[in-house]
Structure 1
Amino acid sequence: MHRSIRRSALCAGLAAGIALAGTLPAIAAPSGTTAGTSPTALPSAAQAGSQNYLVLYKSGGRAAGKSLAAIAKAGGTLVQDYSAIGVAVVRSAASDFSSKLRAADPSVDAASSTASFGVALKGDADSAAAADPIKPPTPAPGADTLSGLQWDMDQMKAPEARAISGGSTSVVVGDIDTGLDWSHPDLAPNVDFSKSVSCVDGIQNTDPSAWMDDNGHGTHTAGTIAAAKNGVGIVGVAPNVKLAGIKAGNAEGFFFPEAVVCSFMWAAENGIQVTNNSYFVDPWLYNCKNDPDQRAIWEAERRAIRYAQSKGTTVVAAAGNESDDLSHPVYDQTSPDNTTPVTRDITNACAVVPTEIPGVVAVSATGNKGLKSFYSSYGLGVVDVAAPGGDSRQVTASAVNGRVLSTYPSALMNACLRKVVDASGATYCYLQGTSMASPHVAGLAALIVSSGVTSPGAVAARIANTADATACPTDMSLYAGVPGNNSEQPQTCTGGTGNNSFYGKGQVNALAAIGG
């Protein structure tokens, strides 16, 4: 089990997580869909000993002319070129490829191997030219068969909001995750096959079998965003909007940087208005800009996210499950989490990606009692808002195990510790984590975009300004014995009502956000 999946979606207690399953059996694409492949195929260099590199160019531009010659001279082959952000993915078996390329091409700022940088489960740019007009949102009142178990939706006033607006079918949310189970009956009505893709290898593959969820995490987050109001199971925050499965994580839960860059470029270039990001960069929980390799990863993803934002994409991300104060990092003792962790001192030059990338809406998690979840990371000036993510320590009559119920692939139900099967046979799982909080806010962003507010900055402002201002807890006993995973210091809430380290501007309120 990959440790960051455990940090990103906690199934039970402090240490339990998603139990990973094997790859799903092949499933035929539904009729009427077109399977496609990226225009750039993996080069023949993809063999034992070769690995991918992210190449950053100093002033943007593309890997052309002399740059291509330098890549070849250094022993590399171009895999993907993102000229809009000055980033290229190159494959090479040469152990000294990075140094050779920098020596051969002075326009190269950095070239870092991504082999050990798995991304795991874990100022606003002006919007580009207006996209197609958004169809008016339509109401989605009432309940489905399992709505009574959705305390999380009640807590953010989602049922009241969707009685007014369930979102517009013109709005698409890209769930950058482990894919989604497009055959699930609560998701199938809303899946946009034309805007779904797999980026797992850093190359865009639109074949539906390629972006089918083989982990479960992506299907769970997708249901929270936009499970259909169809008389089956649960209802998402925005049940009328469309879902694009953007698969960046594989069955083991690794999201490599080239996959994440690919995902944001896809979102930017396919008119996807919102993305949910319930993961963060590993094996370094904190990516330090003063480290050449880690800085390259940080900068490549920053450029890709910034580009998506410039095209009108609102980016929402989970704060993480380390119980850490992200505004005051001291040291990192959990990284690298794919080998043997080594404690290292860190400063504010080190950041959690994508949560701490400028312009990203960072979300902490709350439980059914409205308190910050015991595991959720936090930070004054880092967390923007809080949303229901579940908390096994906040069990109430309406939240019998404290966790969030959402869609889950039937083929992976053995991996779910707390499961529910609808009378129709549709399958659902209870999970907790900031991974579960983030999609609540992504769904809310979709409702706001459906109302005609499309600039990412304006969407983020609406989310924050309509949140229910929440004061720091007066009783901190919930967090007793749960220090920061890295600081090992007691959790502390700083700031005042409406702007503090636990809740940011407050807990999101869907009804207020749509003007109800």
Structure 2
Amino acid sequence: MRRSGGRLGRLLVGAAVITATGMSVPTAATAAPAGTTGETENYLVLFKGSSSPRDAESIVTRAGGTVVANYAEIGVLVARSNNTAFDETVRANDKVEGASATTDFATRLETVEPDQDGAPSGPQPGDLPNAPATDADTFSPLQWDMRQIQAPEAHAITGGSEAVVVGTIDTGVDYRHPDLRANISDAHSANCLGGKPVPGAAAADDDNGHGTHTAGTIAAASNGKGIVGVAPNVQIASIKAATAEGYFFVEAVVCAFMWAAEQKIDVTNNSYFVDPFLFNCRNDEEQRAIWKAVQRAVRYAMQEGVTVVASEGNNSEDLSHPSQDRTSPDYPPGNEVEREVTNACVVLPVELPGVIGVTATGSTVQDTSAGQYPDNLKSFYSSYGVSTADVAAPGGDSVFFTPDSVNGRVLSTYPANQPCTRSKQEPTGEPTYPVATYCYLQGTSMAGPHVAGVAALVISRFGDLETPQNGKLRPTQVEQLIQQTADPQSCPETLPARYETVGAGSESGTPPTCQGGDGHTSWYGTGQVDALAAVTNDRSNG
């Protein structure tokens, strides 16, 4: 299986973390070693304890660094230095747990284009006759995914509140797109690529397309044009944490969660994993430091009231029973090392406590191009796990696609200046933005935003919007309601023969196996998210 996403043509900041354990050197003894002047690099410094010490910035300065951002609340600091001995000097301080030169590594976006495996590409996008009840925008009949989670029916009750903000931690958002611009919150948007937020939607513009697609699924406006998102009345915060090539870095991810916490954002969608390792193993010093830095940031955001939704990934891997990792470290290309992994190794951020993990499903109709198969079958590429999957949502499936889904993929907003293999366009009549573009994509990246949108509807419907953030629903309450109102899905008794072959591309190289019983399975969690049941808090409406 191949995952789409840019490949680097140059060195990018990432997360090659080296921890300092067992050291107890007085602060006064940390004069910089005789390093040489090299290229200026970003560094991540992880302090012991839960917060940065008072002299954190002076520790960095004395080591020959410049402070970029000090996230004192969680004991993480981002620095820059051209001193080749900077990390060695910082690690020698007894207040420092770990330090990293964040270079040479990267990660890929969680989208997938599977046609290379021989799957039929399907008919070209076109309007659907006799579609079920839908929203009323131009391409609403093409939104099988919204009908599958009963979003149009939910909109009759609430389309969300503009007091609710959903942050998409991604490649940015095309804030000029006609279906998004009315809902973009400039005040809540920021670019976190350097490890320190640069506020504003313009600073967080999308030069990839992935982030604009996830944003449209969450909150494209109901304006008679294009598509309608799950929560068309809420605000979108573009929190840019990935480059144009589609790579996420640990300092950018930490920055993104800290920004979401500071801005009192209600929900974040996270359709990525943090580089350079697909699995971060806690018994490895450098990977443990990556895990701790991201865990601290996510935990802090949740404490500040942020509901965190994350995609499971596109490796068709059982995250609860991992056995092999064949793709890490994923940059520079060619440096991958096949290794054994265990449950002590986690994918970030989806496997962190309190994060709502989302698997992907295809469309519901049983008669497909590949024969018959069970309703709401887990998408062939979707990773899963009985301990990680909380709910499922439409992500698309171009192998087992049905007539109502056109080509098996999810249609959403896309920048007009970015290439898209399968697209729809709508003239706008505007001289500065003459054509609005919509792209078909599939992946767990497309599933997660559906759940983030439902979370926004739940907060809009049941939260106290007249009080500050802490008066609204807590993340645990949002997660509980979404899980309790999900449409239960059982492990399928039989699978089409072709489905048994799709696991060959997984890290373990084995076919996917569904585990669990009534109430919770490894493929679906408690079930497929249901917008109508969620906003009525009544499973009988599902």
TM-score > 0.5, shorter chain as reference: yes
- 5 Å-filtered alignment, 1:337-416, equals 337-338=330-331, 339-340=333-334, 341-369=336-364, 370-412=376-418, 415-416=419-420
Alignment correspondent of 1:89: 78
Alignment correspondent of 1:159: 152
> Counterpart of 1:192 in 2: which secondary structure?
coil
Does structure 2 conserve the Cα–Cα contact (< 8 Å) formed by 1:142 and 1:163? no
Distance 1:390 1:266 in 2: 31
Alignment correspondent of 2:174: 181
- 5 Å-filtered alignment, 1:73-222, equals 73-103=62-92, 105-122=93-110, 142-222=135-215
Letter in 2 for 1:482: V
Instruction: Report the Cα offset of residue 423 of structure 1.
Output: 4.4
What are the superposed Cα offsets for residues 466-501 of structure 1, whole Å, 9 maximum, x if unpaired? 001101112223522122521111211111132111
1:442 aligns with 2:459: no
* 287-296 vs 382-391, greater mean Cα deviation: 287-296
The alignment's TM-score, normalised by the length of structure 2, stands at 0.81
Does structure 2 conserve the Cα–Cα contact (< 8 Å) formed by 1:180 and 1:222? yes
Distance 2:51 2:274 in 1: 25
Alignment correspondent of 1:491: 512
> Counterpart of 2:462 in 1: which secondary structure?
coil
Alignment correspondent of 2:131: none
1:308 aligns with 2:314: no
Distance 2:6 2:500 in 1: 27
Instruction: Report the Cα offset of residue 184 of structure 1.
Output: 0.3
Alignment correspondent of 1:427: 437
Distance 2:63 2:69 in 1: 17
Alignment correspondent of 2:14: none
Letter in 1 for 2:50: G
Alignment correspondent of 1:480: 500
Larger Rg: 2
Distance 1:52 1:428 in 2: 36
Instruction: Report the Cα offset of residue 48 of structure 1.
Output: 5.9
Does structure 1 conserve the Cα–Cα contact (< 8 Å) formed by 2:516 and 2:522? yes
Distance 2:162 2:38 in 1: 45
What are the superposed Cα offsets for residues 397-455 of structure 1, whole Å, 9 maximum, x if unpaired? 2111000000000011xx21100012433110000000000000000000011123410
1:468 aligns with 2:487: yes
Q: Which runs of 5+ in 2 are unaligned?
A: 10-36, 111-133, 365-375, 429-434, 464-472
Alignment correspondent of 1:281: 274
Instruction: Report the Cα offset of residue 62 of structure 1.
Output: 2.8
Does structure 1 conserve the Cα–Cα contact (< 8 Å) formed by 2:6 and 2:244? no
Distance 1:20 1:114 in 2: 17
Does structure 1 conserve the Cα–Cα contact (< 8 Å) formed by 2:4 and 2:109? no
Instruction: Report the Cα offset of residue 347 of structure 1.
Output: 1.1
Letter in 1 for 2:426: D
Instruction: Report the Cα offset of residue 117 of structure 1.
Output: 4.2
Distance 1:451 1:63 in 2: 41
Distance 1:159 1:248 in 2: 31
Aligned length: 457
Alignment correspondent of 1:56: 46
Alignment correspondent of 2:28: none
- 5 Å-filtered alignment, 1:494-509, equals 494-509=515-530
Does structure 2 conserve the Cα–Cα contact (< 8 Å) formed by 1:120 and 1:253? yes
Instruction: Report the Cα offset of residue 88 of structure 1.
Output: 0.6
The alignment's TM-score, normalised by the length of structure 1, stands at 0.85
What are the superposed Cα offsets for residues 63-103 of structure 1, whole Å, 9 maximum, x if unpaired? 543x3333233332211101111111122233343332121
1:229 aligns with 2:222: yes
> Counterpart of 1:194 in 2: which secondary structure?
coil
Q: Which runs of 5+ in 1 are unaligned?
A: 1-13, 23-46, 123-140
Q: Where has structure 1 moved over 6 Å in runs of 4 or more?
A: 19-22
Say if 1:226 and 1:392 are closer, same or farther in 2 by CA, change over 3 A.
same
Instruction: Report the Cα offset of residue 18 of structure 1.
Output: 5.2
Alignment correspondent of 1:511: 532
Instruction: Report the Cα offset of residue 236 of structure 1.
Output: 0.1
Distance 1:276 1:408 in 2: 17
Select which of 383, 398, 417 maps to 2:421: 417
Say if 1:18 and 1:88 are closer, same or farther in 2 by CA, change over 3 A.
closer
- 5 Å-filtered alignment, 1:316-331, equals 316-331=309-324
Alignment correspondent of 1:44: none
What are the superposed Cα offsets for residues 333-377 of structure 1, whole Å, 9 maximum, x if unpaired? 111122221101111111000000110000000001311000000
- Give the % identical residues: 55
Alignment correspondent of 2:17: none
What are the superposed Cα offsets for residues 302-359 of structure 1, whole Å, 9 maximum, x if unpaired? 1011011001000000000000000011120111122221101111111000000110
Does structure 2 conserve the Cα–Cα contact (< 8 Å) formed by 1:21 and 1:214? no
Distance 2:358 2:264 in 1: 24
> Counterpart of 2:476 in 1: which secondary structure?
helix
